[in-house]
Structure 1
Amino acid sequence: MSSISRPRGGGQTKGGGRRFENNKIYANPLPLLFIEPPPSRIGSILGLLGLSLTRVENPHCEGVFDPVTRSVWVTNPDHSLILWRRGFFGKGDLSRSEPSWLARQINIRRSAGKQLTSEEITARRRAERRQFKLDRAAAIAAVAEEAEEIFATEGRVITPALSGPAIPSAATWRPSQQLREETPLAPPPPLEDEEELEDVEHLQLTLQEAFFLLWNLDCLTVLNPNSMQPMTLQQIWVAFQKTEIPPVIPHPTEPSDGLQFDNPFLINYVVYHHYRSLGWVVKGGIKFCVDYLLYKRGPVFTHAELALIVLPVYEDPEDQKTSHIDLQNSSPFGWSWLSTINRVNSQVQKTLILVYVTIPAKSRVSKQVLLTPGCLAHYSIREVVLRRFIPARMRD
């Protein structure tokens, strides 16, 4: 496994006005607290010997395993806050990222619908962008129609202009007051006797995030959805794998029946564990057509610098032919597909990385190792950094 050097640009910072507040709120990169005892003579002596009395305190968070959504749900608001603010784990099911549904609803009540939330600002901006495109297309069509009339009546050929005073541009176009009034914003202000709001939002952890928290940091307990009792590590490990495979074995006789080395959970966890262990904040990248995004500190500080595409590679090609899983990106891909994704991420100043995960051969490794996380030692990662060649920017 190899590390990644700092990409070009260094990442764009976010929220400059709230930087000091964010540094205070998100001071802990992981849900661990390092508690130092007060200074003492014994502590000074141990310090000279290179020892310390500092102890590590793990928060004890709970989540419920949901095999339908292939995730773990954290329903306790305090636990959700800890996991989000100490490492940006999970996502609010009623929010874009941070579980802020209750705060938004309280804000709406206090401001009587006048102060917009981030989701409402996004909805208004998208409506304005859609209207701008319609107005621009209508203006271009009007200019083309005028040119055709001149040709029909006077016989002069005029090339329709795509810019000019008659064609709105992004710099000059302004939304109409009617559009702002029609854009759905906050609900009407509540009545004075309205009941107190109940926080109905949950923090949703991916299987990779949940297992990293419980196995590496020992700060998460996963409950069985049927009995609501804590699950053992081996039960969680096997259950997470079986949610990703098709039911090809109706009556398994052995605990390892149905488990395969090319399980999507294993492939994605290898990548997630690798980069989390190197200090990166790993989040989903479906918005940019990739598997993962890497942040240096977190989404509230800077935009993601790196975009990852996970590419599984079979050590033994025969294993792919006999596998019951159609693993994503395991077959050769076209250059047009790769160029499209690379262009999308280049436009948003992200460096694209192809992460090749080598799947061990069944003939070399026993299937019984899949019953424990020890099987991860048989996987390996190779990284290829891909940059789009832009002649106008790369002449020097």
Structure 2
Amino acid sequence: MANSRIDAPGAPGNEGHKQPRNKQDKSSARPPKIPLHQLYALPAPIRTFPLPSFYPNNPLSLFHVLWAWTNQLLSPPPAEPSVIHQGRWSLETRSAHIHDPLSIRALWEQGFFGKGSYSRSEPNWLKREQNRQGQGEKKVSELITAQRREERKMMKWDRARKEQEAILKTRLAEAWVAPVGPKELLALPNSLQDLQLSPFGLTNGHITSNISSNTILPDGQTGLTRETPPGTITTNATASPIVNGNSVGEDEKIPFPLLNGEITATEPATGAPDAVASTLKRRKSVRFSPTVESTTFQLSDPPASPHIKSLSNGKVSSIDVANESLRLSQSGEEVPTEMSDVPVATESSAASLDIVDREHLQLTMEETFYLTFGLGALTVVNPTTGKVMAVEELFPLFRRLSYDSPSTAVMRPDDPFLVQYAVYHHFRSLGWVPRPGIKFGVDWLLYIGGPVFAHAEFAVIVLPAYTDPYWKTHDHASPKRSWHWLHSINRVQTHALKTMVLVYVDIPPPTETSDPSSILKQYKIREFVMKRWLSNRSRE
């Protein structure tokens, strides 16, 4: 009863948990968000039906295993893969293209296969385009990343501005000149009470007069004009600061230093060459602006109006053109011809057009062969003949295309495709999600659950190892790597907070068989984790 009273929205003492009615209606109308662990639950585009675990210290688990085995024996589950996706081979990009939207989402959500043609990894170009045109609230990872980077950049600008303001205030407080002249020293008050009672005020070390033009001076004269005997202080209606015993007039303002040694002063008096020289001799200074605008233009772009903001590629935004045209028409000014020629799309016309998804999923040769040969969840169609390519046809094709010159390639056991696919298949079978690691200068990046859960923890470099006795008497194309190269790659991975793994693939001797299964069984893989050796941390 206590828990129900606390959780009830209308219970007393629970006013902080109340929410407005319109907010509740809005949240109820919006579809619930699927958690990531449910959306990406399947590690591959197939379903498995494993038997429950058996615990020797628990005899009841044995009956559970027998019941599950009997159930699957009497009513076997459907054959897997239940859905076979279809792709089209592209010789230009050396990858398989998936155009079906359902297959694209299935291959990405069930194993993170492929890469969007218009995206960095996840194929979400359609969501970005809908968000750009304002059709619904679509949260896209690239847009969220760009927003966070913009907020971080503006935070840095604001922090730098505050630091410059603090430095400026400190310099302004220290900019007053210490009284060193005899007149200034004699005119200084002896106490705070004398400063308050004295007709002269002290501001930043300068003596100013608080006497108005109608104030009667001690000798019976007003503060307009009078001859000042030597050793006294002149008092005027508008007091002038005194520097080193000399009075500065209204036209000769006291300059004070600003950032980087720059001097700010008003216009000097006529005939003052020293003041003109001081204003001309200025050093460069950095000024921070609250807004950052791009100034990148192309030489072929026509000159635009200075009131119109341009995009990063030099093109003029249609929204800015529409706003500028509306402003000129309301003010009665003539609209320039370059603005009138730009087509402006209204919101109604833009919203009425349906966005066509132009993005497709690109699968690498390793991913394509793993889905066709390892899982059987993909069929690849030859674009010239329109027929499905068998595994026996894809295997030699991928081996030839892994060379720089496919036409003159000779089948060898150390083909780049064979070596790379052996490593890819190895880590896929262990439950890892390997993704291409060219961004960090390595062959593969290993994710624990996928790129949506966490960053890659390991960076893999594949190295062929010719340990078989056959290669002692035969030539082989062993890559020559130096310690300098290894140290450079390891430094990059350490800076990216990744652990580098050296994977050695033992190359078998050549064989006459063409069966992929029998060929891949001959390869052995050895893994070595490499860490940086630092003398100050590894002294033992």
SS in 1 for 2:431: coil
The residue aligned with 1:375 is 519
Q: Which amino acid aligns with 1:176?
A: P
SS in 1 for 2:349: coil
Larger radius of gyration: 2
Gap change, CA 1:91 and 1:246, over 3 Å in 2: closer
SS in 1 for 2:133: helix
SS in 2 for 1:73: strand
The residue aligned with 1:352 is 500
Q: Residue 313 of structure 1: CA displacement?
A: 2.1
Q: Residue 298 of structure 1: CA displacement?
A: 0.2
CA distance in 2, matches of 1:242, 1:381: 23
CA distance in 1, matches of 2:440, 2:293: 29
Q: Residue 32 of structure 1: CA displacement?
A: 1.2
Gap change, CA 1:128 and 1:179, over 3 Å in 2: farther
Q: Residue 319 of structure 1: CA displacement?
A: 4.6
SS in 1 for 2:461: strand
Scaled by the length of structure 1, the TM-score of the pair is: 0.70
Q: Which amino acid aligns with 1:193?
A: S
Q: Residue 262 of structure 1: CA displacement?
A: 1.6
Does the 8 A contact of 1:64 with 1:228 survive in 2?
no
The residue aligned with 2:396 is 238
The residue aligned with 1:342 is 490
1:69 aligns with 2:93: yes
Unaligned 5+ runs, structure 2: 1-31, 51-63, 165-257, 262-284, 295-308, 320-344
CA distance in 1, matches of 2:142, 2:65: 55
The residue aligned with 2:423 is 271
Does the 8 A contact of 2:500 with 2:531 survive in 1?
yes
The residue aligned with 2:368 is 210
Identical aligned pairs, as a percentage? 36
Per-residue CA deviations over 1:4-56 (Å, capped at 9, x if unaligned) read: xxxxxxxxxxxxxx9972112111111113589xxxxxxx9962656523345
1:86 aligns with 2:110: yes
Q: Which moved more, 1:369-378 or 1:196-205?
A: 369-378
Q: Residue 122 of structure 1: CA displacement?
A: 5.4
1:54 aligns with 2:77: yes
Count of matched residue positions in the alignment of Structure 1 and Structure 2:
326
SS in 2 for 1:178: coil
1:97 aligns with 2:121: yes
Q: Residue 281 of structure 1: CA displacement?
A: 0.4
Correspondent of 1:261 among 387, 394, 413:
413
1:192 aligns with 2:348: yes
SS in 1 for 2:518: helix
The residue aligned with 1:286 is 438
Q: Which moved more, 1:283-292 or 1:342-351?
A: 342-351
CA distance in 2, matches of 1:60, 1:266: 25
Gap change, CA 1:34 and 1:193, over 3 Å in 2: farther
Q: Residue 197 of structure 1: CA displacement?
A: 1.0
Per-residue CA deviations over 1:338-368 (Å, capped at 9, x if unaligned) read: 111111111222110001112222xxx42x2
Equivalence map 1:125-204=2 (5 Å): 125=149, 176-179=290-293, 184=312, 191-194=347-350, 195-204=353-362
Gap change, CA 1:246 and 1:394, over 3 Å in 2: closer
Q: Which amino acid aligns with 2:454?
A: T
CA distance in 1, matches of 2:485, 2:387: 45
CA distance in 2, matches of 1:298, 1:211: 20
The residue aligned with 2:37 is 23
1:298 aligns with 2:476: no
Query: Greater relative contact order (Cα 8 A, min sep 6): structure 1 or 2?
Result: 1
Scaled by the length of structure 2, the TM-score of the pair is: 0.52
